[in-house]
Amino acid sequence: MSYINPVKRGYLALENWFNISFGHDWNPLYHLGTLSFFFFWIIFVSGLYLFVFFDTSLSGAYASVEYMTHDQWYAAGVMRSLHRYTSDAVIVTIILHMFREFSLDRYRGFRWFSWLTGVPNLWFVVTLGITGYWLVWDELALYVALKSSQLMDALPFLPASMSRNFLESQINDRFFTLMGFLHLLGQPVILFFALWIHVKRLSDVSIIAPRGLAVGSFLALLILSLIAPAVSHEAADLAKTPAVLNFDWFYLNIYPLLDQWTSGQVWVLTLSITTFLMLMPWLPPKKTGPAAVVHLDECNGCEQCARDCPFDAINVQQRTDGARWEHEVVVLDHLCAACGICVGSCHSSNPFRHAKKELVTGIDMPQMPINDIRDHVDAALAQLKGENRVIIFGCDNALDFSGLESSNIAVISYFCAGMIPPTMIEYALKHGADGVFVTGCRTGDCYYRHGNRWFDERFEGRRQPGLRKRADRRRIGIFRAAETDCKKLRKALAHFQAGLAQLKQEHLATGEAEHE
């Protein structure tokens, strides 16, 4: 088994535990992005509701929050707590999402853009939460406002002294109304466009969490809001120093540093961490293989590869070679992840075509052409011996399959399970394999986003090109695995081979009965 770094091993173990607890479909670690969007909606709706009762004046803000918290605890109070705890939850999902991408090495190479544009989103969310604390205008809000003004005073391009405004009591209703506008509309609009940029290079992006996971998360937050309602400190008073401040460490973690450090030192720390995070995709860089190549002579412009591309790297345009087809596809090299999913999408990847000469498909990977794959399959089939001969079609990003090879087991590894043409499975079955065992990344966790999903839909005949109905699906096994699942994979493979042996016995028994 190949070496797995401890961080990745630990994360995969955690992921596996969540799979056991929640199942693949509802594993929250597979849906951190959609959960974040779901939490944003809860925050937005609850914030609008609270704003109806909120007094945006400096003198009335605290009283209106107290009225919502205590006099209308059953509605506005619960909504305030829900707003608070969901805001914390979205920080958790964002940080977990970043840690997940890092631990699984999904932040470098062709994914650099998503990582680079994702880091600022964390700070946009944090600053949005900080202005929310200002609006409560209690002792904690005053502390946050004073420390925030110190930070802004340290910036050379802001000449006015904000902290002096607090010391001289120059904060008025107009300023407080401005803060309310920024928190309710200005900052959310900026965050919305930042999130749009973050997912711009992805296709078929889902922002809807699975229903069961969404309902369960909402109920958990609602119960927490009822059990431990959010409350305020005493009203803000410049003449009074609070004895105790209950910090929200998700949003206010840098503020205690200002009690020990200068504002400049805190800025250096914050900007250094931000810069380091944004440079991580190049520390060190990860090379992406050559982009897919279009062969127009074999392309009929069906656009299936463009629909299946998970990174929006294939465009459709008018035909340029004078062929009778209306459209052609063009690969955008700088966006191509070299996943090969487009090869599995192409009808021309059928290995039964041109049996005696080179197989050329409409779109192909130059470093692993479909013709070479067919040659590898032929060579592997020729070497299989014994009973229950199986050829494994694996995925480079799942685990190391080399230890599975034996006299009756051969392995062909693709860039992604979505690269496997369904007809290649039929080809292997027809040319000597008793069974084909397909494995790849864990269910719901494809390295290239949609490879498993497209393969399953093709296997079930719900997506083109599909596995034909006449293919004997009893001789096809599917098991999804990660690097820490080798024992499970071996067990599943042994079970599959036992099933093939039983299937042979049934065929023999049926043949003998018909002969009698």
Residue 403 scores a pLDDT above 80: yes
Q: Do 262 and 396 have their domain in common?
A: no
Q: Do 278 and 379 have their domain in common?
A: no
pLDDT tens figures, 227-265:
999 999 999 987 787 878 898 999 999 999 999 999 999
Q: Do 326 and 181 have their domain in common?
A: no
Average of pLDDT values for 386-408? 92
Q: Do 474 and 408 have their domain in common?
A: yes
Q: Give the pLDDT of residue 244.
A: 85
Average of pLDDT values for 45-52? 94
| Residue 22 belongs to a domain | no
Q: Give the pLDDT of residue 307.
A: 96
pLDDT tens figures, 201-215:
999 998 999 999 999
pLDDT tens figures, 60-82:
999 999 999 999 999 999 999 99
Q: Do 268 and 389 have their domain in common?
A: no
Q: Do 221 and 324 have their domain in common?
A: no
Residue 305 scores a pLDDT above 60: yes
Residue 515 scores a pLDDT above 50: no
pLDDT tens figures, 123-150:
999 999 999 999 999 999 999 988 988 8
Q: Do 474 and 427 have their domain in common?
A: yes
Q: Do 353 and 414 have their domain in common?
A: yes
CB-based burial label for 71 (10 Å; 0-12, 13-18, 19+): exposed
Q: Give how many domains the chain has, as a whole number.
A: 2
| Residue 14 belongs to a domain | no
Q: Are strands 390-395 and 327-331 parallel, antiparallel or unpaired?
A: unpaired
What is the maximum alpha-carbon separation in the chain?
106
Q: Do 336 and 429 have their domain in common?
A: yes
Residue 192 scores a pLDDT above 60: yes
Q: Give the pLDDT of residue 447.
A: 95
328 DSSP β-pair partners: 317
Which CATH number belongs to the domain containing residue 99 in this structure?
1.20.810.10
Average of pLDDT values for 165-170? 57
Q: Do 275 and 317 have their domain in common?
A: no
Q: Do 213 and 338 have their domain in common?
A: no
Q: Give the pLDDT of residue 516.
A: 47
E strands, 368-416, where? 390-395, 409-414
| Residue 20 belongs to a domain | no
Q: pTM to 2 decimals?
A: 0.92
Q: How confident is the model at residue 20 (pLDDT cuts 50, 70, 90)?
A: very high
Average of pLDDT values for 179-200? 92
Average of pLDDT values for 365-389? 96
Q: Give the pLDDT of residue 164.
A: 61
Q: Do 414 and 321 have their domain in common?
A: yes
| Residue 4 belongs to a domain | no
Average pLDDT over the chain, rounded to an integer: 92
Q: What range defines the domain where residue 128 resides? A: 32-236+245-282
| Residue 3 belongs to a domain | no
| Residue 17 belongs to a domain | no
| Residue 154 belongs to a domain | yes
Using alpha carbons only, what angle is made at residue 354 by residues 351 and 355, rounded to the nearest 5 degrees?
A: 70
Q: Is 61 helix (H, G, I), strand (E, B) or coil?
A: helix
CB 248 within 8 A of CB 232: no
